[in-house]
Amino acid sequence: MLAPQRQSAILDRVRATGGVRVSDLSAEFGVSDMTIRRDLDILAERGLLAKVHGGATLVDPGAADEPGFAAKSARQQAEKAAIAARAAALVTPGSAVALSAGTTTVELARRLVDVAGLTVVTNSIPVADVFYRDGRTDRTVILTGGVRTPSDALVGPVAVAALRHLHVDLLFLGVHGMSERTGYTTPNLLESETNRAMISAAARLVVLADHTKWDTVGICSIAPLAAAQSLVCDAGLTAAARDALTGHDVELLIADPHR
């Protein structure tokens, strides 16, 4: 097993059980304690777990905690790839689409580079960079200005002003969390205002969120569940979450990361 595969498996174990011991992981993966400790160091540096004596535990983020782009990119990679592929099928040549900031929307951008004649509106520096590096000439990319967040979003009054007079066919919105009580949420106050401006500019809202986002609550609500016409999620979404979403007339599009 390669180191990145082992680290992903360790992270899954921490999330499933709440904590792991170095000795147990060493026996399970057939590697030395030192190798496991290096794996835990790497995962801790990315903000994905907290090291403790003899092992590691879950990071306990608050509602205002905002992980950086690199830390979020390492989470649920297979699920995000499947969600992005499912969402890309909704985009037709010649349409105008908006992509909010987020690691899943970056995955979606990579799958849209071959779609002809797109107009793309985004407040995400990494999303804009995907299209810039592709260099396709039959595409227009509009990057809002604004204040940069830890997740590489551009937010605030400048971003809102840039979005105010724009109109797009589809908005693909990445979220920090979602729940029946709070709707779709973010840990960044300015980002919530910017995302609401993107929603106002869109004829259809499609939320992109893997199953771990359910019952995760950020400090500020973006919109209620019913504001989205569709939610693209992976098969790990619980039955209770599915019932709650469909009860708010949200179309569920389930992506299978194993196909």
Question: 94 lies in which domain range?
Answer: 69-255
Residue that has been written with the tokens 């180191």 in this structure: 3
**What does the block give as tokens for 244?**
């709650």
Does residue 148 lie within any of the structural domains?
Answer: yes
CATH number at residue 40: 1.10.10.10
- Considering the domain architecture, whether residues 91 and 132 belong to the same structural domain is answered as yes
Percentages helix, strand, coil for the chain (3-state, rounded to 5) are 40, 25, 35
List C-alpha distances in Å: 148 to 158, 168, 169, 195. 11, 23, 26, 14
Of the listed ranges 14-18, 84-88, 99-103, 188-192, the least confidently predicted one is: 14-18
Helix (H) or strand (E) holding 86: helix 77-88
The CA-atom distances, in angstroms, between 174 and each of 42, 51, 52 are 26, 29, 32
Q: Which residues contact 1 (CB under 8 A, 6 or more apart)?
A: 9, 29
**Same domain, yes or no: 41 and 15:** yes
Which tens digits make up the pLDDT trace of 84-109? 999 999 999 999 999 999 999 999 99
Same-domain pairing of 51 and 73: no
How many C-alpha atoms does 167 have within 13 Å on its Cβ side?
A: 1
Same domain, 30 and 102: no
Distance CA 206, CA 10 (A): 32
Q: What is the mean pLDDT of the chain?
A: 90
Q: How many domains does the chain have?
A: 2
- CA pair distance 87, 252, nearest whole angstrom: 11
Whether 62 is in a domain gets the answer no
> Is residue 73 domain-shared with residue 138, that is, in the same domain?
yes
Average pLDDT for residues 155-169, to the nearest whole number? 96
Identify whether 26 is part of a domain.
Answer: yes
Domain containing residue 246: CATH number: 3.40.50.1360
Instruction: Tell me the residue type at 121.
Output: V
pLDDT of 63 > 70? The answer is no
123 and 19 within one domain: no
pLDDT digits (tens, 9 = 90+) for 109-129: 999 999 999 999 999 999 999
**73 and 36 inside one domain:** no
Q: Tell me what the mean pLDDT of segment 210-216 comes to.
A: 90
Indicate whether 64 belongs to any domain: no
Q: Determine the residue type at 85.
A: A
Are 94 and 161 contained in the same domain? yes
The residue ranking higher by pLDDT, 25 or 58, is 25
Stated pTM of the model: 0.74
CB proximity list for 90: less than 8 A, separation 6 or greater? 170, 206, 230
Does residue 53 sit in the same domain as residue 75? Answer: no
Q: What are the φ and ψ backbone dihedral angles of 97, each rounded to 5 degrees?
A: -130, 150
63 assigned to some structural domain = no
